[in-house]
Structures are given as C-alpha cells and as structure tokens.
Amino acid sequence: MEERMAAEKSRAGGAESETSPAGRIRVTDRRRFNTDNQEESREASAEGRGAEPEGLKAPRVEELEALTRVAEQKAADVQVRFEQLRAELRRETDETRQRLNRAADERAAREKAAFVAALLPVIDNLQRAMDAAEAGGSLETLMDGLRGTVSGFESALAGAGVELIEADGQPFDPELHEAVDVAEVEPERDGLVTAQYSRGYRLGGQLLRPARVQVGRAGGAAQGVA
C-alpha cells in the first residue's frame, strides 16, 4: 500500500511539478482525495451492513401481531370466566339466602305450632269449668277448673320462654313495675310494692308487660298516681 501511494505521489509530482522563480519545485499532494474516497467507502459499507433488509421485517411484525392476538384472546377468555364465576357466586348467594329464609320460616312455624298446642289444655280446662257451672256443680268444682286453666296457661307461657316478673313485696323497679298508686306505710316498707294489680311478663331480655303495682310511701298522705 505504501509503495503504491509513493508511486502515485511520484507520478503526480512529475506531472504537476512547476519551477518557482526561486528554482524550487512545488508538489501537489493528492493523497487526501484517496483517503476521502476510502472513508466514504468504509461508511457506505458499514451502512450496508447495519441496514436490515425489508424482507426480514415482515416476519417479525407478523410474529408480534400473532402474539398480540393470542394475548387479547387470553384476556377475553379470562373476562368470560370471571363473568361466569360472578354469576355462579350470585346464584349461590341467592340460593343460600332463600334456604336460610325458608329455614327461619319453618322454625317460626314449628314454634308457633308448639305454642298453640300448649294452649289446647287451657281451652279444655275452661270448657270443663263452663260445663260444671252449667250443670250446677259446686263452687269447689268450678274453682278447680279455673285453677287448672291458670296452671295450664302458665305452663304454656313457661314453655315458650316467658318469665313471670316478681312484684309483691319487692323494691319498686321502674324498669319492671308500673306504679298505679301509692299507699302510706311504715318507714321500713318505704319504696316496696304493697299490692299487685296485674302480673308482668318478660321474654328473655325483652319486657312484654310491666307489673301494675301499688308502692308504699312512708309519711304523708297516700295519693293516687296515673
């Protein structure tokens, strides 16, 4: 390479050499043109190697499009499955709610039937008391019938969970007792229930009816209260 460039330099120098007035020879160096041409050739070659032929782009694009379609199909399948599961969950929830409601209704019906069945002996006792009174039975027979009626009714209430509220002789409790009137009493009986006009009942923690009572007050005149 160096020998060829030297030869070209020699030939170019010989063809374009001129004698200056001072007798010196001027030589024009043309190597830079060859160097520029070589640089352009190398750049063109590099660009040619770096450029991807258009024929190779199409398969890659098709591959990406195919992957995109697969991903979209999977997303659609997941959405469809999600909708199915949500519908199944809603249906199961509705069925469970309906089953619980039916169970609650059936339980309430059984409890109501049991309570009514417990009242039947009460009706029987009342009927016997009426029959005895109409037949001219003694007062004792009539009273036995009435006592049996009250006892049967109280048993029916107890079976249903109803509790009798104790009142007579107990300290007055506004949560359980309703004061109908007051009576003057000794100081040691102040604030106690002195009489009961009607019984009170509660079911569990719920007050069904307060007991209507008379309350003792020490000193002063007894006054009725509404």
pLDDT, tens digit, 9 for 90 and up, residues 79-100: 999 999 999 999 999 999 999 9
Whether the predicted pLDDT of 175 surpasses 90: yes
Q: Are residues 181 and 94 in the same domain?
A: no
Q: Are residues 112 and 87 in the same domain?
A: yes
Answer yes or no: are the C-beta atoms of 170 and 200 closer than 8 Å: no
Mean pLDDT of all residues belonging to the chain? 78
CB atoms within 10 A of CB 68: 10
Q: Are residues 179 and 112 in the same domain?
A: no
Q: Is the pTM of this model over 0.85?
A: no
Q: Which of 107, 138, 160 is the last residue of a domain?
A: 160
Q: Are residues 148 and 171 in the same domain?
A: no
Q: Are residues 142 and 104 in the same domain?
A: yes
C-alpha to C-alpha distances, 216 to 133, 165, 174, 182, 209, nearest whole angstrom: 39, 19, 14, 5, 21
Q: Residue 196 has which token pair?
A: 């009961």
Answer yes or no: are the C-beta atoms of 180 and 225 closer than 8 Å: yes
Residues 97-149 have pLDDT tens digits of 999 999 999 999 998 888 888 888 888 888 888 887 788 777 887 888 788 88
Q: Could you give the CA distance from residue 12 to residue 71 in angstroms, rounded to a whole number?
A: 69
Longest pairwise C-alpha distance within the chain: 178
CA torsion angle 7 11 14 18 (round to 10): -100
Residue of 100, 198, 194, 204 whose CA lies nearest to 157: 204
Spatial CB neighbours of 177, under 8 Å, sequence gap ≥ 6: 165, 167, 170, 193, 200, 210, 211, 212, 213, 215
Answer yes or no: are the C-beta atoms of 189 and 218 closer than 8 Å: yes
Q: Residue 47 has which token pair?
A: 């660009």
Q: Are residues 172 and 203 in the same domain?
A: yes
Residues 185-212 have pLDDT tens digits of 999 999 999 999 999 999 988 999 999 9
Spatial CB neighbours of 149, under 8 Å, sequence gap ≥ 6: 122, 125, 126, 129
Residue 56 lies in a domain: no
Spatial CB neighbours of 141, under 8 Å, sequence gap ≥ 6: 132
**Half-sphere exposure at residue 142, Cβ-oriented, CA atoms within 13 angstroms:** 10
Whether the predicted pLDDT of 50 surpasses 70: no
**Host domain of residue 89:** 65-160
